Structure 1
Amino acid sequence: MVTPNLNADSNPPDILAKQKSRYFLTWRWHFYAGLFVIPFMLMLSITGLIMLFDDEIESARYGEVLSVNSSAYSSQDPLPVSAQLAAVQQAYPDGTVTQFVPATSSEVTNRFSVTMADESTHFVLVNPYNADITGTIDRSDSWYQLANDIHGTLLIGDVGDYLIEIAASLTVILLVSGIYLWLPNDNARRAGFLKIRTDNGSRILLRDLHANIGGVLSIVLLFFVLSGLAWAGIWGAKIVQPWGSFPAQKWDDVPVSDLNHKALNHGSEEEMPWNLELTPLPQSNVHVHGEEITSGSSAGSAEKAGMATEQIGIDRVVNEAKVLGFGQYKLNFPRSETGVFTVSANTMSGDITDPTQDRTTHIDQYTGKVLADVTWNEYNMIAKAMAAGIALHQGDISIINKIANVVFCLAFILIAVTGALMWWQRRPAGQRKLGAPPKAVDSGLWKVGVFSVVLVCIAFPMAGLTIVALMTIDALICRYMTTFKEALS
C-alpha cells in the first residue's frame, strides 16, 4: 500500500492530522488481518477451484466404469432397480447399501453407496440394462472429498475449522478497511482509483491490481465469506443454522427419531439441505390391526406378535418418487427398523440447479406413506437465503455461475498474491521486522478501535476473541519485550 500525500489536499492542519491518523490506523488493521488471512484465502480459492470441477475430474478418472453404451440396449428397457440392488448385495454380502443415486442420463451407470465391512464407503456402479457391476469408486478417495476436507478443516478437525472461521471472520475486517483505503479520498488514491498503471514501477502496479480488484469485488468476496461461514463450527452451527432450521414440530402426528438429517450425509459430503441437518428424522411404524411398533421394539418382537415387518421395496419407492415429481435425486435407505426412505433433491448436493425446487420427502418403509415432505415453500427466510447462497457459492446454478466462480477464485488468488508481494517489497530489508504500517498518532481514535472490536466480537465471536487475545498479548508481553516490539514495528 502506498501512503497518500495527505498534505496535497487543501484542508486545515488539524483535519489533515485526523485524516492521517485514521488512514494509518485503518491500514494497520488491514495489514495485520491480511497477514493472517492471505494463506487461508489462497487455500480456500485453490480448493474451491478443484471442487468446482468435481464432475470433470471424476469423469477423467473413472470415465470407463461410469459410461454405458446405451445404443447396445436400444431394444430393451432398464431392469427394475430391485434387480440391480440384488446384484450389488450379492456381490458385497458383507456390505450395507445406504443410498441409491439414479443415473443422470442413459449413457452413465446407476450408483449404489455401500458401506463395506471395514467401514469404508464405495459407490458401486451398475449397468441399468443388465445389472452388471462395472466398477467401484472409493468415496473417500475423490479429489472433491480431499479438497472439501481441506477447505473445511485443513485435515485437522475442529482446530482447522476454528482457524478457517477466524480467517473468514477477519476477512470482513479486511474488506471494510480495504474499501476505506481504496476509496478516492485524497490525491494519491484518486490517481490510482479504477486504474491499472503499468509505467510507474512494480509497487504502483501491484497496488493498483490489489486495490482495484479487491475494491470492485469486495461485495462478491463478502458474499463468499458469509455463505461459507454457514458451515463454520461456531458462527454457522451455533448461531445461524439453528435459526434457519426446519422445525420438526410442523410434522403432524409423526414420531421423530434420535437421529437428525445430518446422519444421512456420507463423510464430509453435504448431501442434506443445510436447514434440515439439525432437524430430527421421522420414524416408520409397523401397523397391524391398529397396533404399532416404535423405536423401542425390534423386528423380532414384531414377527412374534404376528405383525408385518417387510419393507415395501425399492421399486415402489422409486415409482413413488416419480409420481411425486422427482427428476434427479438421491434415495437414502432406512438406517434402522424404524428408519425411513428419504428421497432428496437439492442444490447443496448437486442434484438440481434451482434452489426453489429443493425437496426432501420421507416415506414409511413398511406402508409407503409419505410421512413428511419439505419443499422450498416450507423454508423460512434464513433457510431460503442460505439455500440460494450455498448454490451460488458452489457454482451449481448454471454454467455461467460456474464460470463466474472460476473467475472470482482466480481474482481472489491474485488479490492475495499481490498483497503478499506488496508487503515483501516494503518490508525492511535485513531486519527482523514485519514492516507494519506506522502507528497512528493518538488523536482519540482508540475509541474507534474499541468500538470496532466490540462490534466484531458480537457479529463474529471467533474473530473478536482472536483480536482480544492478541491485544492482551500485546499489552502484557510485547510492549515489555524489545524483540517483539521491534518485530511488530
Structure 2
Amino acid sequence: MEAVSASDKKSKQLYRTLWRWHFYAGVFAIPFVIILAITGSLYLFKPQLDAIHDAPYRNLALNGDRSTPEQQVAAAIAAVPNSKFVAYELPREQSDAVNILLNQHGEKIRAYVHPNNLQVLLVEQEEKRFLRIVHDIHGELLLGKTGSILVELAACWAIVLVLTGIYLWWPRNAKGIAGVLYPRLSFKGRLFWRDLHSVIGIWISFFVLFLLLSGLPWTLVWGSAFKEVRELTGTSAVQQDWVNAGRKNTADQHSHDHSAHEDHAEHQADMNGVNTKAASLNKIVAGAQNLQLAYPVLISPPSAKSPDWSAKSNAQNRPLRADAYFSATSGELTRQQHFSQRHMIDRAVGIGVAAHEGQLFGWLNQLLGLLTAMGLIALSISGFIMWRKRAPQSALGAPPAMPEAKIGMGFVIIIFAAAILLPVLGASLIVIFLLEKILFSRWTKARIWLGL
C-alpha cells in the first residue's frame, strides 16, 4: 500500500507540475497563437486571394500584335523612374497582364503591363500588398528580427502547450469517451469549457504539432542553426528553397531567394529592354514557356552571384517546382533541376512547407489548415475563459504547486533535451530561472501574484 501511495503522490506531483507549465505557456503564447491562426488562415487561401486581386488585369481585350518581353520591361521601367529590372513573371494566360518586378531605391515594385498596348495598368510596392502584410505579421509581427524571435519563442512554447496538454488530457479515471473524445454539452460553467478545451485540443494536436514543426526551418534562430548544421554536415543546398524570417528579399519569403538579383550593374535594364551584352530576354522567355513550368514562373537576369539567366517556378505546391538556367550569352538552356533531384532534406522541408501553406493536396489541405487554425482560436478562447473563472482577483491564478514537490531526473532530462533542440526555448528557460532566483525570490508580492 505504501508503494502505491508513493506512486500516486509522484503521479499527482507530475500532473500538477505539467499543469503549471501548461498554464504559464498558455498565458504567454495565447495572444501570439491567435494572431498566427488568423494570419495563417488568410495565407492558406493565397491563390484565391491573389486571383481576386489580379482579376481586373486578367482576360484583357487584345488587339493587334503582342508586344515583346523586352518592350514590356522597358514600359515598366519607364513608368517607375530610376528602377532596375529584377524579374519577369510569365503570365498564366496570354491575355493576362505581364508582371514585371523592379527595384527602385531598394523598394520592391511590381508593375502590371498590358501585353498589347504596353499600358502600365498598376504599379504597387510588394511590401504593401495585402498578403505580403499578412505574411510579415505571421512571420515577424511587422517587427523585423525582434518580431521573428518573438514568433519563434511563441511557437516553442506552443509545442510545450500541446505536449503538456496531451498528458493532461490522457484519460486516467474516465468512464466512457464522453468528455474525452466529445464534449458533454449538457454541462454548465467551467466543466463545459474544460470539456470543449480538452476535446478540441486532442483532435487537432497532431495537426498543430505538424504546423509548428514544419514552420521551424523558416524561423530566424532555429532556421539559421539548421542551415549551419547542414553546412557542417555537407548536406546544404547551393541555395535553399526557403528564407528565414527576419531576412528581407525581393520575392515572397515563402518563395525562392531572389535577393542576389538586386545587384545588376552590368545587366541592368535600360529604356529599350535589357542590356545588349546579355542574351535576349525575348529568347529566354520563349525558352521558359516551352518548358511549361508550374505557375508562377520568375525569370531573372544574370548577376554577380548567378552568371546565367534563371527561370524558377514559385508554385506553392513545392513538389511541382523546377528551376531552369539559360546561358547569359547564347540564351540556350544549360541545365534544369526538378524537385525530385534536390537533397532529401530539401524535399522533406519543401513537402512540409507546402502542407503548412495548404497547397500540397488541394482544397482538403486548405480545409484541414483552416479547421486547425479555428481550433486553435477556440482553444485560446476556452482556455482564457477557464482561467478567468478560476483566477482570484489578487493573483494570476496559476495552479498551486504541491508541497515539497520535486522534479524527477527524467523530467530534467526531457527539459534539457527540449532546450537543446529548441534554442529559443532553452534561452527563455534560463531567463525564467534567473528571474526567479534573482528577482522574484526577493520580490515577495510579485512571487505570490505569479504563484511561484
Instruction: Report the 3-state secondary structure (helix = DSSP H, G, I; strand = E; otherwise coil) of the residue aligned with 1:266.
Output: coil
Matched, 1:68 2:56: no
Report what 1:269 is aligned to: 253
Instruction: Report the 3-state secondary structure (helix = DSSP H, G, I; strand = E; otherwise coil) of the residue aligned with 1:382.
Output: helix
Report what 1:4 is aligned to: none
Alignment CA distance shift 1:375-1:207 (3 Å): same
Report what 2:6 is aligned to: 14
Segments of 5+ residues of structure 2 without an aligned counterpart are: 240-245, 268-274
In the TM superposition, residue 476 of structure 1 has moved relative to its aligned partner by: 2.5
Alignment CA distance shift 1:213-1:104 (3 Å): same
Counterpart-to-counterpart distance in 2, 1:338 and 1:159: 31
In the TM superposition, residue 191 of structure 1 has moved relative to its aligned partner by: 5.1
Matched, 1:466 2:435: no
In the TM superposition, residue 339 of structure 1 has moved relative to its aligned partner by: 4.0
In the TM superposition, residue 60 of structure 1 has moved relative to its aligned partner by: 4.5
AA matched with 2:117: N
Report what 1:317 is aligned to: 284
Counterpart-to-counterpart distance in 2, 1:19 and 1:191: 23
The one of 423, 426, 429 aligned to 2:387: 423
Alignment of 1:341-380 (within 5 A): 341-347=309-315, 350=316, 353=317, 355-380=318-343
Counterpart-to-counterpart distance in 2, 1:80 and 1:31: 61
Counterpart-to-counterpart distance in 2, 1:264 and 1:419: 35
Report what 2:271 is aligned to: none
Instruction: Report the 3-state secondary structure (helix = DSSP H, G, I; strand = E; otherwise coil) of the residue aligned with 1:230.
Output: helix
In the TM superposition, residue 391 of structure 1 has moved relative to its aligned partner by: 0.8
Alignment CA distance shift 1:477-1:147 (3 Å): same
Report what 2:202 is aligned to: 215
Report what 2:301 is aligned to: 333
Instruction: Report the 3-state secondary structure (helix = DSSP H, G, I; strand = E; otherwise coil) of the residue aligned with 1:217.
Output: helix
Matched, 1:228 2:215: yes
Listed one character per residue, the Cα deviations across residues 146-204 of structure 1 (whole Å, up to 9, x for unaligned) are: 11111111122211111111111112211111101111122389651112112221312
The one of 115, 118, 127 aligned to 2:114: 127
Q: How many pairs does the alignment contain?
A: 430
Report what 2:272 is aligned to: none
Matched, 1:392 2:362: no
Report what 1:104 is aligned to: 92
How high is the TM-score relative to the length of structure 2? Answer: 0.85
Alignment CA distance shift 1:377-1:270 (3 Å): same
Instruction: Report the 3-state secondary structure (helix = DSSP H, G, I; strand = E; otherwise coil) of the residue aligned with 1:326.
Output: coil
In the TM superposition, residue 50 of structure 1 has moved relative to its aligned partner by: 2.4
Counterpart-to-counterpart distance in 1, 2:9 and 2:178: 21
Report what 1:436 is aligned to: 398
Alignment CA distance shift 1:106-1:324 (3 Å): closer
AA matched with 2:329: Y
Q: Is the 8 A contact 1:243 1:382 kept in 2?
A: no
Counterpart-to-counterpart distance in 2, 1:319 and 1:114: 21
Instruction: Report the 3-state secondary structure (helix = DSSP H, G, I; strand = E; otherwise coil) of the residue aligned with 2:218.
Output: coil
Per mean C-alpha deviation after superposition, the further-off stretch among 390-399 and 102-111 is 102-111
Report what 1:303 is aligned to: none
Counterpart-to-counterpart distance in 1, 2:370 and 2:95: 28
Q: Is the 8 A contact 1:246 1:379 kept in 2?
A: no
Alignment CA distance shift 1:324-1:202 (3 Å): same
AA matched with 2:35: M
How high is the TM-score relative to the length of structure 1? Answer: 0.79
Q: Is the 8 A contact 2:197 2:382 kept in 1?
A: yes
Counterpart-to-counterpart distance in 2, 1:159 and 1:427: 31
Matched, 1:86 2:74: yes
In the TM superposition, residue 439 of structure 1 has moved relative to its aligned partner by: 1.1
In the TM superposition, residue 449 of structure 1 has moved relative to its aligned partner by: 3.7
Alignment of 1:135-150 (within 5 A): 135-150=122-137
In the TM superposition, residue 142 of structure 1 has moved relative to its aligned partner by: 1.0
Instruction: Report the 3-state secondary structure (helix = DSSP H, G, I; strand = E; otherwise coil) of the residue aligned with 2:441.
Output: helix
Instruction: Report the 3-state secondary structure (helix = DSSP H, G, I; strand = E; otherwise coil) of the residue aligned with 2:73.
Output: helix
Counterpart-to-counterpart distance in 1, 2:396 and 2:319: 49
Counterpart-to-counterpart distance in 2, 1:136 and 1:90: 12
AA matched with 1:421: I
Listed one character per residue, the Cα deviations across residues 235-294 of structure 1 (whole Å, up to 9, x for unaligned) are: 112225752865449xxxxxxxxxxxx999416633207xxx89x99x99xxxxxxxxxx
Alignment CA distance shift 1:445-1:47 (3 Å): same
**RMSD of aligned residue pairs (Cα, Å):** 3.1
Q: Is the 8 A contact 1:453 1:467 kept in 2?
A: no
Report what 2:26 is aligned to: 34
Counterpart-to-counterpart distance in 1, 2:380 and 2:88: 42
